[in-house]
Structure 1
Amino acid sequence: MKNAFLIVATLIALSSCESGNPVGNEQANLSQSLANIKTAVNNLPAETLDSVEKERILFIREEEKLAYDVYQTMYDKYGSKIFQNIPNSELSHMEAMLIIIKKYQLVDPMDTNPRGKFEDQNLQLLYTSLVSQGNVSLLSAYQVGAKIEELDIFDLNKSIAITNNQDVRLVYDFLNKGSRNHLRSFYKNLKNVGGSYSPIFITQAEFDAIVNSPTEKM
Structure 2
Amino acid sequence: MKNKIKFRFLAILLVTLTNIFCQNNSDTKILSQEEINTMRFMLEEEKVAFDVYTFLGEKWNLQVFANIKRSEAKHMGAMKGLLERNTISYQISSESGVFFNEELKIMYNNLIAKGSLSVIDALEVGKAIEEKDIEDLQVAISHSNDSYTKQVYTNLLNASYNHLNAFNRNLSR
Q: TM-score range by the shorter chain?
A: 0.7 to 0.9
Q: TM-score, normalised by structure 2?
A: 0.83
- Three-state SS of the structure 1 residue aligned to 2:171 is helix
Aligned match of 1:108 in 70, 79, 90?
90
Aligned match of 1:71 in 48, 53, 57?
53
Which AA in structure 2 matches 1:55? N
Q: Deviations over 1:110-137 (max 9, x none)?
A: 1x43110001000000000000000000
Aligned match of 1:168 in 149, 154, 160?
149
Q: Deviations over 1:161-213 (max 9, x none)?
A: 11110111110001000000000000010011xxxxxxxxxxxxxxxxxxxxx
Aligned match of 2:30 in 8, 28, 48?
48
After TM superposition, the structure 1 = structure 2 runs for residues 109-124 of structure 1, keeping only pairs within 5 Å, are 109-110=91-92, 112-124=93-105
Distance across 1 between alignment mates of 2:60 and 2:74? 23
Which AA in structure 1 matches 2:86? Y
Matched, 1:97 2:74: no
Distance across 2 between alignment mates of 1:71 and 1:120? 19
What does residue 70 of structure 2 align with?
88
Q: Deviations over 1:94-150 (max 9, x none)?
A: 11111111111112221x431100010000000000000000000000000000000
Radius of gyration: which is bigger? 2
Aligned pairs, number = 149
Q: Deviations over 1:38-69 (max 9, x none)?
A: xxxx9x92211010000000000000000000
CA RMSD of aligned residues (A): 1.3
What does residue 214 of structure 1 align with?
none
Matched, 1:144 2:125: yes
Which AA in structure 2 matches 1:159? A
Which structure has the highest helix share of the two? 2
Q: TM-score, normalised by structure 1?
A: 0.67
What does residue 185 of structure 1 align with?
166
Distance across 2 between alignment mates of 1:46 and 1:148? 33
Distance across 1 between alignment mates of 2:55 and 2:137? 24
Identity of aligned residues (%): 34
5+ residue gaps, structure 1, are 1-41, 193-218
Distance across 2 between alignment mates of 1:90 and 1:46? 28
Distance across 2 between alignment mates of 1:91 and 1:58? 15
